[in-house]
């Protein structure tokens, strides 16, 4: 019932013209922060392997995603939680396992047939597809096929203002975007660590946590080397 209620809330936001705020988070603490900050959707991306663990993009496993799913689920009280299926484990059984560990929906990149199979198993789907060189009419048809297959939400990457607006208008379900998205969609997605500046390579941040962390740890190291009591720790 939680997953159904959560997905209906996102669809109500689209009907009301309210933009959906999506945040990618991979741990309990950041999930809590994003939830309290008002995120509507918290996406547990399989990019955790690359950005936190130094893995190659195709190394993440369903077992690892289950661990991250549980951590984020513990930190979220009100937002919708979506969890990625690893690229090489896009199947119904993996989707069921993610739902059992607390996902309100699963995110996948696949055909309408895969979406239909996962939805038929009782798991709501956040379906990802990409723009690029395809004509807007073709992208609209793709989006409609995913909607007809039962997708609850669409992640339209590299949409552009023309195709993005056309797709968002053509389907009844919300269309949000991370990479290459814009205000023409029903909402946006951003990695929490990128937004706060924890990932130094990211530009246009809302903060610079990497710099703050560097300065704090340098100050801690200086206190230790000077024989001082460190801050925040009792003698």
Task: Please name each of the domains of the chain with its CATH number.
Answer: 2-195 (3.20.20.60)
pLDDT at res. 156: 95
Q: What is the pTM of this model?
A: 0.89
Closest listed residue to residue 91, CA positions, set 67, 118, 68, 112:
118
Average pLDDT, stretch 176-184? 87
pLDDT averaged over the chain?
91
The predicted-structure confidence for 30-43, as pLDDT tens digits, reads as follows 999 999 999 999 99
Any long-range contacts for 169-177 (C-beta under 8 Å, 24+ apart)? Answer: 170/140, 170/143, 170/144, 171/143, 171/144, 171/147, 172/11, 172/14, 172/147, 173/11, 173/14, 173/147, 174/10, 174/11, 174/13, 174/14, 174/20, 175/143, 176/20, 176/22, 176/41
């Amino acid at each position: 019932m939680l997953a159904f209620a959560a997905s209906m809330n996102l669809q109500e936001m689209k009907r009301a013209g309210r933009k959906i705020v999506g945040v990618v988070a991979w741990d309990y603490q950041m999930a809590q922060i994003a939830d309290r900050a008002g995120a509507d959707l918290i996406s547990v991306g399989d990019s955790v392997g690359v950005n936190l663990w130094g893995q190659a993009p195709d190394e993440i496993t369903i077992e690892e995603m289950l661990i991250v799913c549980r951590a984020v689920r513990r930190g979220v009280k009100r937002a919708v939680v979506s969890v990625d299926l690893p690229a090489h484990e896009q199947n119904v059984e993996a989707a069921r396992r993610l739902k059992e560990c607390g996902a309100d929906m699963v995110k996948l990149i696949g055909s309408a047939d895969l979406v239909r199979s996962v939805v038929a198993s009782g798991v709501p789907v956040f379906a990802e597809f990409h723009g690029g060189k395809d004509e807007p009419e073709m992208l609209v048809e793709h989006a409609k096929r995913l909607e007809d297959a039962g997708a609850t939400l669409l992640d339209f990457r590299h949409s552009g203002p023309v195709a993005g607006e056309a797709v968002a208008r053509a389907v009844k379900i919300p269309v949000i975007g991370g990479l290459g998205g814009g205000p023409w969609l029903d909402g946006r997605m951003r990695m929490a660590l990128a937004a706060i500046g924890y990932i130094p390579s990211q530009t246009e941040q809302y903060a610079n946590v990497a710099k703050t962390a560097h300065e704090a740890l340098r100050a801690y190291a200086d206190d230790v080397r000077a024989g001082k009591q460190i801050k925040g720790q009792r003698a």
